[in-house]
Structure 1
Amino acid sequence: MLLSALGFALMSACVKYVSVYGIPVFEIVAARALVSLILSFVDVQRKGISIWGNNRKLLFLRGAVGTMALMCVYYAVTTLPLAEATILQYVHPVFTALLGVLFLKERVQGATMICIVLCLFGLGIMVQPNMATSITAEALPLQSVMIALLGAFGSSIAYVIVRKLSQTEDSSVIIFYFPLVALPTSILLMWNEFVWPSLAITIVLIFVGIFTQIGQYGLTKAMQTQEAGKASGYSYVQIVFSTLLGVVIFNEVPSVWTYLGGGFIVTGALINVFGKKLIPSVFRRV
């Protein structure tokens, strides 16, 4: 999941960068989808399997839900500071764990619950000074916040669908359906708002797709090998990556609250990974 978190953090940084130069959200989605579609198709062909999979209805549903969530996330990234936009995305492990219990009949382990609690506490520390006080110059736009939360909910649904599909589908096929749905959808929504990018911006748009592919690969592999709530809880590390990228690229210097909250988030992620072994051993010693 670390690979997935890093890939998506770099993707978000690229999205924010090209938006500064006037590239609209739907065009960014289309560019990402085009690159991902080509890379996914090549990967499926390399494996010598059918690109259409077995459960086509559920595959298309995953693509549709993922596309909706992606558009919401990209809108948030282009209208909010990178760290805050990422933080708002990462309420989805709570939704994912609950959906995993309801639809996949999974048990939420104690380590995962501790991770979620610590991560939410860390999020509260990071968000509270920036959203509820006058530390920053201006409040975050409500519309952007709500759309970011909608994207987080959509992501949680998509993750649970991926978990279900992983029982019958190859990971490359699951990844392939995402851009297969996203590309025509974003082109239709973009319509006449297309902006010709410069060569440099075109290269960055291509990297949006490449980093997406890296993130999707890591995510799909993680969801195939871990329970839905556990895998998505560990993905909180993306917040740390995004905060660092915000500092380096966009000069968005975080406050001490961001570092403190990030510490809780990393601690929660480590417990989520190693807690299954460590927690029982601790109780055996008591």
Structure 2
Amino acid sequence: MLGIMLVAASAAVFGLAGVLTKSIHADPLTINCWRGLVGGALISVYVFWRRRNSGIAGLPRLGWRGWLLATIGACASIAFISAFKNTYVANVAIIYATAPFVAALLGWLLLRERVRAQTMLAAVLSLAGVGMMVFAGLGTGRPFGDALALVMTCGSALYMVLVRKFRDTPVVWAGAVSGLLLFVFGWLVTDPSAISWRDAWLLAAFGVSFALASVLWTEGARLIPAAEAGLLGSAEVPFAILFGWLFLTEFPPPASLIGGGLVLLAVVAHAGRDWLAARRAVALP
């Protein structure tokens, strides 16, 4: 029960990303800069706490694999924040929900992992939903944001595949370093100090929410099966849409809702089948 509560809470906190991004007047690079600093610092504190008996010498070593993960994560984060600035919160959340299916395709291409029939069917249904959303956005000035969301989704999917490939790499520590890389990059290409006090408070809250969601997910996923964690993680999408409607009065067009419904149907059905299969396997003597 504790694991379920932690992962569900993580999904809710992650769902605030779109609202926080659109509420901050700063540009995407500045947002990434401060979000990366606050989030990266807090996740680093969490890593230190988990390894408090080992001391500084016991900190995990990234190696080139960890640095690669951190770099990919930073690039995906830039596309993620930029997408929210250029399209509906619902569109970004729904397109991102297809990441597991993109990861399955990349896993087949890069690792020669077998793709199940149910995954292929869910991927096709998701692709149809995303295509409907992107096509509907061509006449509204939103296709650039949808394209950025697709880039972010592909980057996140590649991150998932490499995490499976590099099983001995400290993923949480790589996430902290990714945030710190965004902070350094932001100082080099923009002026992060040129923000209002209002934006400063929101940026701090954004960094805290990012770190909190990451820690909640990490701790919750340790306590429940992977299939159940994946199913609960998909709750991020309805949370994001709900928060966008409540706090931004942002209601996407009908085509986005229909396309999003197809994606959600595919994600929930796919994760639900995995969850049922996992429970049946546990129930067997």
- How does the TM-score come out when normalised to structure 2? 0.77
Task: Give the alignment of 1:239-250 within 5 angstroms.
Answer: 239-250=237-248
Deviations 1:23-63 (A, max 9, x none): 12111111111111221121111112567524421111111
CA shift at 1:185, angstroms? 1.6
Match of 1:6 in 2: 12
| Candidates 247, 251, 254, aligned match of 1:253 | 251
CA, structure 1 residues 42+102, in 2 after alignment: closer, same or farther (shift >3 Å)? same
Given that 1:63 and 1:182 are in contact with CA atoms closer than 8 Å, whether structure 2 keeps it comes out as no
* Residue 189 (structure 1) aligned with residue 189 (structure 2): yes
Task: Give the alignment of 1:26-175 within 5 angstroms.
Answer: 26-48=29-51, 53-128=60-135, 130-131=136-137, 138-140=140-142, 142-165=143-166, 167-175=167-175
Q: Could you say what the CA RMSD is over the residues aligned between the two structures, in angstroms?
A: 3.4
CA, structure 1 residues 5+124, in 2 after alignment: closer, same or farther (shift >3 Å)? farther
Q: Which amino acid aligns with 1:152?
A: T
Q: How many residues align?
A: 267
Equivalent-residue separation in structure 2 for 1:32 and 1:77 (angstroms)? 15
SS in 2 for 1:43: helix
Equivalent-residue separation in structure 2 for 1:110 and 1:154 (angstroms)? 24
* Residue 17 (structure 1) aligned with residue 23 (structure 2): yes
Given that 2:89 and 2:240 are in contact with CA atoms closer than 8 Å, whether structure 1 keeps it comes out as yes
Equivalent-residue separation in structure 2 for 1:122 and 1:103 (angstroms)? 26
CA shift at 1:170, angstroms? 4.1
Structure 2: runs of 5 or more not aligned: 1-6, 281-285
* Residue 177 (structure 1) aligned with residue 177 (structure 2): yes
Structure 1: runs of 5 or more not aligned: 282-286
Q: Which amino acid aligns with 2:241?
A: T
Instruction: Judge which range, 68-77 or 49-58, deviates more.
Output: 49-58
Deviations 1:178-214 (A, max 9, x none): 2132221222122x3642221x332221121122224
Q: Which amino acid aligns with 1:197?
A: S
Instruction: Judge which range, 67-76 or 210-219, deviates more.
Output: 210-219
Match of 2:283 in 1: none
Equivalent-residue separation in structure 2 for 1:231 and 1:120 (angstroms)? 23
